[in-house]
């Protein structure tokens, strides 16, 4: 078993699921436990100035061994797993010499990883897959990224003949709840540019992502005894459902792809008296993004008038498309592409149908495109990652570090 696979299997079993509701930094204690575990490992392998901040950010550095001045570069991944699927008691399994067949994840659970549902599995015939047991997610998003970065750093330390500039590494908490760079110490990180390794099939390079907002609507109702409620009761649950029905039906995550945006009904909870509706708004185009927000705003006013009851709206932008921030420094994308070509990895420029730490860092004047970590089906029980992808990505990080000495 290769070092990157050993690392990932160990990391996957640490419970680091984030939580939107705690208000803590990091949001869950498991992330802090993992941060100190990573710090100990980074110190042991010989990285410099390894620290864990009060907010749970792990940073460490490799000093330059190049014979000339060259840029300081960064590699970033996040420690938390999605709050939307259990990340506790993860039991990763290795499927060796995958044959392109259905994989029953557990004898106790009726969950099957099938190429009929996920055709890209056919690309990994003969490979070793790491899968879940169907009870939890796997956590390749983004513990695979952490394992790949640290294995690459260890390789560079063990091979001083490979020249590189100063390398900064950071592992952040709470990316999955949109708070991955809230307390990122850019000054201490000190990189000229960086790369996140976060999700996606090997070869993907993402230079643009959704504009994103979250809308929380609170619908009020009037409750009466149901036997005598005629012409009196207003059921807030039904009002919220009517609001949902008025959104563009074709603009949902399950009916969109590529550069198409959407409204995602993220959660609904309520009673006759009050219902809270949580909607995620996403679009690549800034003008269309603002149009989507206006639909929600206008709808809240319209439903308040229609039922003569208040509809409270709280809307907050979460992150923006990093495309414009990266265009002036397109050469950092070209470096990644060159490294991939040299390593016989087919590069593909794709949009992120989501967000990464890199999108927000790019707006903080740290240009940070995203490189895939090799994982598939993030945030769910069908998550998997081919071991060959992880191994190739270790080499990619090493080669990028080497190419940056030629700038």
> For 149-162, what is the mean pLDDT?
98
Q: What is the pLDDT of residue 349?
A: 94
| Alpha-carbon distances, residue 84 vs 18, 81, 88 (angstroms) | 9, 9, 12
Give CA–CA dist 149/340, Å, rounded.
16
Reduce the secondary structure of 61-111 to three states and give it as a string. Answer: EECCCCCCCCCCEEEEEECCECCCCCCCCCCCEEECCCCCCCEECCCCCCC
| Residues 54-89: tens digit of each pLDDT | 999 999 999 999 999 999 999 999 999 999 999 999
Three-state secondary-structure class, residue 313: strand
What pLDDT band is residue 44 in, cutting at 50, 70 and 90? very high
- Contact residues for 229 (Cβ-Cβ < 8 A; gap 6+): none
Q: From 321, 37, 31, select the one nearest 176 (Cα to Cα).
A: 31
Catalytic residue of the set 142, 175, 192, 383 = 175
- Given a contact cutoff of 8 angstroms between Cβ atoms, the answer to whether 34 and 79 are in contact is yes
pLDDT of residue 109: 87
**pTM, to two decimals:** 0.88
Report the pLDDT value the prediction gives residue 38, as an integer from 0 to 100.
98
DSSP string, 152-197: HHHHHHH-TTS----EEEEEES-GGGT-TTTT--HHHH--SEEEEE
Task: Give residue-wise pLDDT tens across range 292-327.
Answer: 999 999 999 999 999 999 999 999 998 899 999 999
Is domain 3-208+321-406 classified as CATH 3.20.20.70? no
> What is the rounded average pLDDT of the residues 15-32?
96
- C-beta of residue 318 within 8 angstroms of C-beta of residue 213: yes
52 band by pLDDT with thresholds 50, 70 and 90: very high
**Average pLDDT for residues 253-266, to the nearest whole number?**
95
154 is catalytic: no
- Confidence at residue 356, expressed as pLDDT on a 0 to 100 scale: 78
- Report pLDDT for 355: 78
Domain boundaries 211-318, CATH class: alpha beta
d(CA 336, CA 340): 6
Residues 6+ apart with CB under 8 A from 176: 18, 78, 80, 81, 82, 83
Q: CA 373 to CA 381: how far, in whole Å?
A: 18
Q: Where do the structural domains in the chain lie, given as residue ranges? A: 3-208+321-406, 211-318
- 175 part of the active site: yes
- Of the listed 80, 141, 192, 251, which one is catalytic? 80
For residue 6, the model assigns a pLDDT of 98
The pLDDT tens digits for 349-379 are: 999 888 779 999 999 999 999 999 999 999 9
| CB of 320 closer than 8 Å to CB of 352 | no
pLDDT at 145 over 90: yes
Predicted local confidence at residue 105, as pLDDT: 97
Q: For position 95, what pLDDT does the model report?
A: 98
Q: What band does 178 get if pLDDT is binned at 50, 70 and 90?
A: confident
DSSP 351: -
**Mean pLDDT along residues 123-152:** 98
Contacts 24+ apart (CB under 8 A), 117-125: 117/382, 118/376, 118/377, 118/382, 120/201, 120/376, 124/98, 124/386, 124/388, 125/98, 125/99, 125/100
**Distance in angstroms (rounded) separating the CA atoms of residues 328 and 325:** 7
pLDDT at 304: 97
DSSP letter (8 states) at residue 213? E
% of residues, the chain, pLDDT over 90: 96
Does residue 155 or residue 178 have the better pLDDT?
A: 155
Give the pLDDT of residue 269: 97
Encode pLDDT of 116-130 as tens digits.
999 999 999 999 999
Q: Which residues contact 395 (CB under 8 A, 6 or more apart)?
A: 152, 343
């Amino acid at each position: 078993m290769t070092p990157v696979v050993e690392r990932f299997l160990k990391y996957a079993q640490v419970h680091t699921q984030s939580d939107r509701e705690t208000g803590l930094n990091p949001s869950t204690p498991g992330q802090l436990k993992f941060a100190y575990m990573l710090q100990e490992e980074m110190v042991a392998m010989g990285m410099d100035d390894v620290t864990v901040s009060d907010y749970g950010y792990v940073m460490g550095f490799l000093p330059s061994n190049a014979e000339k001045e060259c840029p300081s570069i960064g590699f970033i991944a996040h420690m938390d797993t999605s709050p939307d699927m259990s990340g506790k008691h993860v039991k990763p399994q290795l499927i060796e010499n995958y044959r392109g067949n259905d994989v029953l994840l557990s004898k106790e659970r009726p969950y099957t990883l099938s190429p009929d549902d996920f055709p890209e599995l056919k690309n990994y015939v003969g490979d070793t897959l790491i899968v879940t047991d169907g009870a939890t997610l796997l956590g390749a998003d983004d513990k695979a990224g952490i394992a790949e970065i640290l294995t690459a750093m260890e390789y560079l330390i063990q091979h001083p003949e490979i020249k590189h500039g100063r390398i900064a590494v950071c592992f952040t908490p709470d990316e999955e709840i949109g708070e991955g760079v809230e307390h990122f110490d850019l000054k201490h990180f000190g990189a000229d540019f960086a790369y996140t390794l976060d999700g996606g099939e090997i070869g993907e390079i993402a230079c643009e992502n959704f504009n994103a907002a979250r809308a929380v609507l609170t619908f009020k109702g009037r409750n009466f005894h149901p036997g005598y409620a005629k012409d009196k009761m207003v059921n807030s649950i039904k009002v919220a459902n009517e609001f949902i029905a008025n959104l563009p039906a074709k603009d949902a995550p399950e009916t969109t792809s590529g550069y198409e945006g959407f409204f995602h009904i993220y959660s609904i909870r309520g009673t006759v008296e009050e219902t809270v509706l949580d909607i995620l708004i996403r679009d690549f185009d800034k003008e269309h993004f603002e149009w989507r927000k206006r639909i929600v705003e206008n709808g809240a006013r319209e439903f308040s008038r229609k039922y003569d009851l208040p509809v409270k709206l709280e809307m907050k932008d979460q992150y923006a498309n990093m495309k414009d921030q990266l265009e002036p420094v397109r050469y950092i994308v070209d470096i990644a592409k060159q490294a991939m070509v040299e390593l016989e990895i087919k590069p593909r420029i794709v949009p992120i149908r989501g967000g990464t730490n890199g999108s927000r860092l790019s707006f903080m004047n740290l240009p940070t495109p995203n490189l895939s970590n090799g994982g598939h089906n993030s945030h769910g029980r069908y998550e998997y990652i081919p071991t060959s992808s992880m191994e190739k990505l270790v080499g990619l990080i090493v080669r990028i570090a080497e190419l940056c000495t030629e700038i």
